[in-house]
Structure 1
Amino acid sequence: MNTSNKIPLTVVVPVKNEEKNLPKCLELLEDFDEVIIIDSNSTDRTPQIVAEFGYQLVNFNWNGQFPKKRNWLLRNVPLRNEWVLFLDADEFVTDDFKNEVRERIQDVSYNGYWLAYNNHFMGKSMKHGIKFKKLPLFRVGTGEYEFIDEKAWSHLDMEVHEHPIIDGQVGEIKSPVTHLDFKNLAHYIGKHNDYSSWEANRYLKLKQDKAAWAKLNWKQKIKYSLLDTWGFGFLYFLTNYFLYAGFLDGKIGYIFSVYKMQYFFNIKAKIYELTQNKL
């Protein structure tokens, strides 16, 4: 049991070759009772950086099967706190966020919390556009990331678009986490190329599995209903850039909106390619 003034929560940071982002992420975590970094055989200075901060480093070798990195840690690494927060290396907590988390995890009526993110793109803060949210903060033992059967088509060893399935009530933390990737635009494009391949394959799997479709939340059902349409990317651009005032972020808002449009177009094109290959 945590008897210090630290926040009684375990922060888990999944990484692979994150020497650019990791120092800033880790230097903001000293107020938490436990910090664990789970690595996938990094070849840069990631392990040395973890050692410099004195945090626990766990290595993960994926065998291509379920579970992936986050679920594997939940099942195999003892955590000394009741709550766990999964934080990416390019996500940075603020004092307001830490203060709110300290208070909210004392509420016994909630088993998880959605987090809001202050997104940056190409080094610039984006104050407008569709806001990004996810559910990486929950009470240990109340759930894990959803199971997706992706044998033979995915090389991503960490849950990326999988959502945690939590038993019990889920709330929302208002104070945002800063999302700021110090890597370049080429890295962003390459990463989202991998993500679009994953999404295309998952869409086709969902079409064949009614039980898996039934488990999706309403936002996921809308998303996957639209992914197989050629106009979804353009619809996202119009929504993000005009309806959510992404144009107020200037050139960065425009570039981001175009890249997101391209991302959804790539998913649709890959769905089409995979479908044609099966004919």
Structure 2
Amino acid sequence: MPLPVTVCIPARNEEQNLPGCLDALRGAFADVVVIDSASTDATREVAEARGAKVLEFAWDGKFPKKRNWVLRNHAFETPWVLFLDADEQVTEPFLDELRATLGGTPHVGFWISFNNWFMGRPLRHGDVFRKLALFRVGAGEYERFPEDRWSHLDMEVHEHPVLQGSVGALAARLDHHDYRGLKHYIAKHNEYSSWEAHRFVWLKTAGAEYWNSLNKRQRFKYRNLNRWWFARFYFATTYFAKLGFLDGWTGWVFNQFKLRYFQDIRLKIRELESGDV
């Protein structure tokens, strides 16, 4: 019997990543929905050929963005929703844990973790990427920020859902593969670093309700992103303390990219605060 979960996959020009994501889902979930943003490649054809529903999303530059839009506008027929990116794939241990968990859980949401792959090789050490991507329909929606003036990304970036109820964590991991190469990775993180810089500047004047919606890790990050030591602290933690160096050359390159990413955020914060842009 399929799991009582609707899988929602935001997408735009994801013909390379989407087949692996959808193939891993086949038959395991009650419903699969791809939310497409006017893809110019074969994203729609790939999705429909694998039995997924395709919803077209046209962002008007304002709230809601893609994930909140589908939460507000799609007629869900399941009690749970799982948000996946097109470069993420469920695993058999993850499916087994869902089958054993969802029927009697008191939680309204779950953190899920990922096995990360970079340049075609697995990263078995370092920081574990996780996000709150599985939750009950109607339990909440993604954080909302007044970003109309400075964000041109049509999907939530690093926002988490704000849920009414307790949240648990699943032990089994998903796989995170991106088959679009370093050019796309660098361009994507350039966009993300700009978004993070703007969010940091905005949070400096935000009220308590916004800070209270952040988890402990988020609060630490947004209090210190502009510190000279933060990027180095992150690198030392993930590469040395969390044994990222055991991933060899790939681990070194990946952690260098993350170091540069946080350095870019700090420099963009300084640029915004100086009024040079």
Q: Same fold (TM over 0.5)?
A: yes
User: What are the within-5 Å matches in structure 2 for residues 265-276 of structure 1?
Assistant: 265-276=263-274
Mapped to 2, the partners of 1:56 and 1:37 lie a distance apart of 6
Taking structure 1 as the reference length, the TM-score comes to 0.96
Q: Single out whichever of 211-220 and 268-277 deviates more from structure 2.
A: 211-220
Report the equivalent of 1:224. 222
> Is residue 51 of structure 1 aligned with residue 51 of structure 2?
no
Measured in 1, the distance between the counterparts of 2:184 and 2:105 equals 41
Match of 1:84 among 81, 84, 88: 81
User: What is the aligned counterpart of 2:19 among 11, 17, 23?
Assistant: 23
Matches within 5 A, 1:183-194: 183-194=180-191
Q: Report the equivalent of 2:164.
A: 167
User: Cα distance, 1:133 vs. partner?
Assistant: 0.9
What is the CA–CA distance in structure 2 between the aligned matches of 1:26 and 1:191, rounded to whole Å?
Answer: 22
Superposition deviation, residue 96 in structure 1: 1.0
| One-letter code aligned to 1:203 | F
Contact 2:3 2:30 in 1 (8 A): yes
Q: In the alignment, which residue of structure 1 is the partner of 2:235?
A: 237
- Could you tell me how far apart the structure 2 residues matched to 1:12 and 1:214 are? 27
Structure 1 stretches of 5 or more lacking a match?
none
Post-superposition Cα deviations, 1:189-218, rounded to whole Å, max 9, x if no partner, equal: 100000000000000100011232232221
SS of 1:230 mapped into structure 2:
coil
Give the aligned partner of residue 6 of structure 2. Answer: 10
Matched, 1:143 2:137: no
Q: Which runs of 5+ in 2 are unaligned?
A: none
Report the aligned-residue RMSD.
1.1
Residue 278 of structure 1: CA displacement? 6.5
1:215 paired residue number: 213
Please give the alpha-carbon distance, in whole angstroms, between the structure 1 residues aligned to 2:91 and 2:212: 37
The equivalent position to 2:120 in structure 1, one of 96, 119, 123, is 123
1:37 maps to 2:5: no
Aligned length: 275
**Conserved? CA contact 2:162–2:213, under 8 Å:** no
Structure 1: which amino acid aligns with 2:16? Answer: K
What is the aligned partner in structure 2 of residue 110 from structure 1? Answer: 107
Query: For residue 24 of structure 1, what is the amino acid of its counterpart?
Result: G
Secondary structure of the 1:36 match is strand
Q: Distance in 2 between matches of 1:8 and 1:102?
A: 9
Deviation of the 1:116 alpha carbon = 0.9
What SS class does the counterpart of residue 24 from structure 2 fall into?
A: coil
Q: Distance in 1 between matches of 2:78 and 2:266?
A: 42
Q: Could you tell me how far apart the structure 1 residues matched to 2:88 and 2:213 are?
A: 28
Aligned mate of 1:100, from 97, 100, 117:
97
